[in-house]
């Protein structure tokens, strides 16, 4: 286990759950242009919910375990992260369905990811982030 990496993840989660001061962006992320199809505050809340729960798990979970815990992850994110061939439950909100459709249209070279694939990007020992 990489203690420094887990500590950094915990610090990133603490930073994420509150809005940063202007100009306080990490040097690794100088600019990110996001144009949500819904009100910005709603988009921001949903994004923070997913990232905060994921960072909390990544700072504490054993990545070598057979099954990773999902209790704190928003159910809509888990539902749309079921891989490319799986159907999506009718109870999934429209915004999540629309996002999944856009993602499946351009999933990258490895194909659609499942929940575990997303979480693995936060593993402290992994050393790289897929969005960087």
Q: Which of the four pLDDT bands, split at 50, 70 and 90, describes residue 3? A: very low
Decide: helix, strand or coil at residue 108.
coil
- pTM for the complete prediction? 0.67
Give the pLDDT score at 24: 60
User: Which residues face 82 on adjacent strands?
Assistant: 114
Give the pLDDT score at 1: 39
The b/e string for 37-61 (b: 16+ C-beta within 10 A; e otherwise) is eeeeeeeeebeebbebbbbbbbbeb
How many whole angstroms separate alpha carbon 76 and alpha carbon 61? 21
Cα dihedral sign for 70, 48, 55, 60?
Answer: negative
In this predicted model, what pLDDT tens digit does every residue of 23-75 receive, in sequence order? 665 555 556 677 888 898 998 899 888 888 888 888 888 878 888 788 888 88
Per the structure block, which two tokens stand in for 35? 């144009």
């Amino acid at each position: 286990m990489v203690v420094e990496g887990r500590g950094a993840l915990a610090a990133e989660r603490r930073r994420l759950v509150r809005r940063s001061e202007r100009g306080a962006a990490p040097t690794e992320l100088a600019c990110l242009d996001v144009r949500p199809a819904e009100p910005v505050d709603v988009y921001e809340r949903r994004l923070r919910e997913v990232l905060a729960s994921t960072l909390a798990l990544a700072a504490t979970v054993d990545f070598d375990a057979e099954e990773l815990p999902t209790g704190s992850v928003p159910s809509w994110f888990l539902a749309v992260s079921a891989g490319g061939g799986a159907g999506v439950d009718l109870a999934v909100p429209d915004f999540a369905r629309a996002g999944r459709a856009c993602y499946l249209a351009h999933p990258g070279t490895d194909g659609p990811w499942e929940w575990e694939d997303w979480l693995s990007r936060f593993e402290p020992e992994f050393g790289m982030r897929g969005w960087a």
